[in-house]
Amino acid sequence: MTWTKKHLLDIESLEADEILTVLDTARAFKTVGERPIKKVPALRGKTVVNLFVEPSTRTRISFELAEQRLSADIINFSAEASSFKKGETLKDTARNLEALNADFIVIRHGASGAPHFLSRVIQAGVINAGDGAHEHPTQALLDVFTIREHKGRIAGLNVTILGDILYSRVARSNIRALTKLGANVTLCGPSTLVPKTFEQMGCRVTHDVDEAIRGADVLNLLRIQHERQRKTMFPGIGEYAQLFGLNHARLARAKPDALIMHPGPINRGVEIDSDIADGDRSLILEQVTNGLAVRMAVLFLVNGGKGPREVAGN
C-alpha cells in the first residue's frame, strides 16, 4: 500500500495496511543502519522541529537521530527556555516555528489532542510523540515491529499488556495497532487501573495476573503513571509489585518463548524485577534500537516517501 498521509497523529486513524507499510519501510531502514554510511538524503533541505513540552529520553533522542540520519535540518525546542514561560500559546508557538519554515513538527505534550489541534492550525506536517493519556503511535509501531521481527507475524498472537492501562497512551496505541493486525490482546492490572470498559476496544480484561501471563506470546509491562493519576488508585508500590509485578515465580508460568517488553522508563522492582529486565528474554533495549528505524520510516513517509521499495534508492 502507498502511504498518502501528511501527519502521523494516532494509530486509530491508520488502516492495517498503512501500519504494515510503516513496518516494511522500517525494515528497509534497519538494513540502511547496517551499512558503513548510515545517512541518506531523504529529508535534505527539510526542517524538523522537535517540540517536547513533556520530558522524554527515548522518543526525543530517537527522533533526533532519525532526523540526522535522513539529513534534515533540526531544531530542538526547549519548553523550559521558551516563551511558553511568558504565556505564549501552543498555536502561536507553532505558527512562529512555521514562519521559520518548519516543514514538520514532532510534538510531545501533556494534553490529549494537542497534535491533532496543531494539525488543524498549521500547514506543517505533525507527528505525535505522545499526547497525554491518549496515544503514542511511534511507540506502538516500534513495539509491533519488534514483535514481528521475533515471531514473524502479529495475527493470532496472544499479547498481554500488564500495568497501568487507564493512564497509558502506550497501551491505547498498542491495543489499536495489535487488534488491527489480528492479535488477541489481554489487559491485566488492578481493577482501578484496568476497568472493564477497555473491552470496548476489542480486547479482553482480566485481573488474574497468573492467567494473563500463562497463555501469552508477548508480555508488555507498563509502569504506573504517577504523573497522570489524580488520586491514589492502589494501596502502595510494594503491594502493586507483590500482586502484579513480573517476578521469577510468575515468569516460570509463562511460555518459554514469551517475549518480555517494556516501553521504558522502567521502575525496577515494581512492574518488573531488575534481573528480568536485564535478562536474556528481555527486548527492552532492542525496542529502543528499533525505534530509530521506525521513526526514520515515519518521517520518510510523511515527507512523501511511498514505501519500502523507495528506501533502497536512497
Least separation in angstroms between CB 119 and ligand CP: 20
Window 135-174: contact mask with ligand CP (x via CB under 6 A) = -x--x-----------------------------------
Taking the least distance from each CB to ligand CP, the nearer of 50 and 139 is 139
N-terminal to C-terminal alpha carbon distance within the chain: 19
Residues contacting ligand CP: total by CB under 6 A: 11
Binding mask 79-108 for ligand CP (x = CB under 6 A): ------------------------------
Q: Which stretch binds ligand CP (CB under 6 A): 51-59, 157-165, 206-214, 300-308?
A: 51-59
Q: Which of the ranges 57-65, 172-180, 187-195, 230-238 carries the binding residues for ligand CP, by CB under 6 A?
A: 57-65
| Sheet strand arrangement including 125-131 | 73-78, 47-52, 104-109, 125-131
Binding residue for ligand CP, selected from 264, 281, 286, 310, defined by CB under 6 A: 264
Nearer to ligand CP, 69 or 295 (CB): 295
Q: Could you say which residues in the range 173-232 bind ligand CP, by CB under 6 A?
A: none
The grid cell for 142 is: 516500534
Residue 31 touching ligand CP (CB under 6 A):
no
Q: Could you say which of 163, 245, 263, 307 contacts ligand CP (CB under 6 A)?
A: 263
Beta carbons within 8 Å of 143's beta carbon, 6+ residues apart: 170, 174, 177, 220, 261, 263, 287
Print the SS3 string covering the chain: CCCCCCCECCCCCCCHHHHHHHHHHHHHHHHHCCCCCCCCCCCCCCEEEEEECCCCCHHHHHHHHHHHHCCCEEEEEEHHHCHHHHCCCHHHHHHHHHHCCCCEEEEEECCCCHHHHHHHHCCCEEEEEEECCCECHHHHHHHHHHHHHHHCCCCCCEEEEECCCCCCHHHHHHHHHHHHCCCEEEEECCCCCCCHHHHHHCCEEECCHHHHHHCCCEEEECCCCHHHCCCCCCCCHHHHHHHHCECHHHHCCCCCCCEEECCCCCCECCCECHHHHCCCCECHHHHHHHHHHHHHHHHHHHCCCCCHHHHCCC
Report the residue from 57, 83, 89, 242 that binds ligand CP according to the rule CB under 6 A: 57
Is 130 one of the binding residues for ligand CP (CB under 6 A)?
yes
Cα–Cα–Cα angle for 104, 294, 121, rounded to 5 degrees:
25
Piece of 52-60, 234-242, 247-255, 297-305 that binds ligand CP (CB under 6 A): 52-60
Selected from 47, 59, 146, 158, the binder of ligand CP by CB under 6 A is 59
Name the minimum Å distance from CB 304 to ligand CP: 26
Q: Which residues contact 267 (CB under 8 A, 6 or more apart)?
A: 223, 224, 237
* Binder among 6, 38, 58, 204 for ligand CP (CB under 6 A): 58
Judged by CB under 6 A, which stretch of 56-64, 148-156, 158-166, 176-184 contacts ligand CP? 56-64
Shortest distance (Å) from residue 4 CB to ligand CP = 27
Q: Is 56 in the site for ligand CP (CB under 6 A)?
A: yes
Q: Judged by CB under 6 A, does residue 285 bind ligand CP?
A: no
- The residue (of 161 and 311) whose beta carbon lies closer to ligand CP is 161
Taking the complex as a whole, how short is the minimal distance between the CB of residue 237 and ligand CP, in angstroms?
Answer: 20
Binding-site ranges for ligand CP (CB under 6 A)? 56-60, 130, 136, 139, 263-265
